Chain A
Amino acid sequence: MSLPPLEDLVACSQCDTLHNAMTLSEGETAACRQCGTPLMTSRSSALARVLSLALTSVVLMIAAISFPFLDLDVQGRQSGTSVIGAVLAFQSSWGFPLAIAVAGFIIILPLTRLIALIYAIGPLTRGAKPRRYARQAFALAERLRPWSMVEIFMVGVTVALIKVAGLATVTIGPAFWAFAALVVITVLKDQLICRYSIWEELDTARA
C-alpha cells in the first residue's frame, strides 16, 4: 500500500484510525470515521477570537482574586472571604496540602494555562513567527485543561451559599460576578480552540 506524505495524514488520537487530512471550508468539522472523535475544524479566524477571550479571562481572573467575594452577616457579626481567603481556609495542620490543591485548581493552573496560550498563539494572530518555546507553551496549555476547575468551583460556591443561606445574610461581592463571567468566557474559549489547526499553524509559521 502506498501512502500519501505524512503531513497529509491525520490519525485519530482515540482509536488510531488513519485518515487523509482535508481542507475544510469555514465552519466545517471533520470527525473520525471509526469512533466519531472530532479530528479538525476549519482553520479559521478563530485564533484571534481565542486570543481575545484569553486576554479577557486574565483580566477577569485578576478582578476575581482582588475584590471581595462573599460577605456574611449574622446578628451584626460580620465575616467575609475573597478567593484567596477560600484558598487559605485550610490553615489547620493537615489542611495545607488541600490549600495548595485549591489554589492550584482555581488560580494557579487556570492562570498558567491562559498565559501559556496567549504566549503561544499571540504572534500567530498577527501573522508573525511563533515565539521560542511556543510549542511547549501550547502543549502545556492543553495538558492543563482538565486541571483547571473554575467552573466546578462556581458550582461549589452555589452549594455553599445554599448551606449558609438559612444561617446568615450573605452579600455577593464583585469578585463573585467576575468569577461567574470567567466561567462563561472559559467555556466559549475552549470550544473555539482547535488543537489540530493551532498545531498546523505553529508548524507552517515556523517553515
Chain B
Amino acid sequence: MTTAREAGLVACRRCGQVEVISAPHCQRCGSALQSRDERSLQKVWAWLIAGMIVYIPANLYPMLITRSLGHTSDSTIFGGVVELVELGSYDIAFVVFFASVVIPIGKFIAIIYLAISVQRRSILNMHQRHKLYEVIEFIGRWSMIDVFVVAILSALVQLDSIATINPGIAAVSFALSVLFTMLAAQSFDPRLIWDASRNTE
C-alpha cells in the first residue's frame, strides 16, 4: 500500500485533504502541513518527563484536607482509595484506583515504549502498537476524575464547625501531570509507528 509520502504528497491530519508534498499549508482548512512531524519525539519526551516529575508530589502530598470537629486529616491519592474500600464501595474504589494510579502509570510506560519502539525493532507488531496509541489517547483524559472529585467535595462540604474539606497541593500537581501526559500523547505522530515497520520490511 502506498503512503502519501511515497506518492510525493502530504496529508492534512486535521481534515484529510491531500496536497503536494511541498505545500506549506492545507488549502482546505489552513493548518500547517508536515509529512512527518520531525520533532514529534522531542516534544513527546519533554511533556512526558514533565508529567512524570509532577506525578511524584501528586502522590506524596495530600489531595484532600478534611477538618472535622476540630481535628484535621489529610488524604493522599492512595489514601482516598483506601478510604473508599473501608466505606465498602469496592467498585468505586476500583474506578478511582484505575483512573488515578493504573492509567497514569500505564500511560508513562506505554508512551516510553512507543517512543523507543519507533526507533528500534519492536516485539509488538505495528497493529498492536497503533492500538496501544489509540488507547492511551482515548483513556488519558479519564485520569481527571480525582481532580473533579476534589473540586466537588471542597465546594460541597463547607459546614464550618462540623466539617470542611479543602483541596491539597497534590490536586494541582496531579492535574498538571494529566495535562502534560495528554500533551505528550497528542505530540506523538502515529505515522512514525507505520514508517518504522515499513522500513524494516
Chain A interface residues toward B at CB < 8 A: 1, 3, 6, 9-18, 33-36, 39-40, 70, 72, 74-75, 77, 79-81, 85-90, 92, 94-95, 97-98, 101-102, 105-106, 135-136, 138-139, 142, 146-147, 149, 152-153, 155-160, 162-164, 166-168, 195-196, 199, 202-203
Interface string of B27-54 (1 = CB under 8 A from A): 0111100010000000000000000000
CB distance from A138 to the nearest CB of B (A): 8
CB distance from B135 to the nearest CB of A (A): 13
Smallest Cβ-Cβ distance to A15: which chain B residue = B194
CB distance from B81 to the nearest CB of A (A): 11
Query: What 13 new A-B contacts, CB under 8 Å, besides A85-B155, A146-B186, A157-B152?
Result: A9-B4, A9-B9, A14-B130, A14-B194, A79-B158, A86-B155, A139-B29, A149-B148, A155-B95, A156-B145, A159-B149, A160-B148, A168-B157
CA distance A204 to B57 in the complex (A): 52
A6 touches B19 (CB 8 A): yes
A86 touches B151 (CB 8 A): yes
B154 touches A34 (CB 8 A): no
B95 touches A92 (CB 8 A): no
- Set B3, B16, B19, B151: member contacting A89, Cβ < 8 A: B151
Chain B interface residues toward A at CB < 8 A: 1-5, 7, 9, 11, 13-20, 28-31, 35, 83-84, 87, 89, 92, 95-96, 126-127, 130, 137, 141-142, 144-149, 151-160, 162-163, 166-167, 169, 171-172, 175, 179, 182, 186, 190-191, 193-195
CA distance A80 to B89 in the complex (A): 24
What would 6 A/B residue contacts be, using CB atoms closer than 8 Å?
A: A6-B17, A16-B35, A139-B30, A152-B145, A160-B148, A164-B156
- Set A18, A95, A136: member contacting B30, Cβ < 8 A: A136
CA distance A163 to B85 in the complex (A): 11
**Nearest 4 Cβ contacts at the A-B interface:** A156-B148, A11-B11, A89-B155, A199-B15
Smallest Cβ-Cβ distance to A156: which chain B residue = B148
CA distance A135 to B26 in the complex (A): 11
A203 touches B28 (CB 8 A): yes
Given known contacts A90-B167, A164-B156, A199-B28, A10 and B18 CB-to-CB distance under 8 angstroms: yes
Chain B residues whose C-beta falls within 8 Å of the C-beta of A80 in the assembled complex: 156
CB distance from B23 to the nearest CB of A (A): 10
Given known contacts A86-B151, A157-B148, A72 and B15 CB-to-CB distance under 8 angstroms: no
A13 touches B147 (CB 8 A): no
CB distance from B146 to the nearest CB of A (A): 7
Given known contacts A12-B11, A16-B5, A160-B152, A39 and B167 CB-to-CB distance under 8 angstroms: no
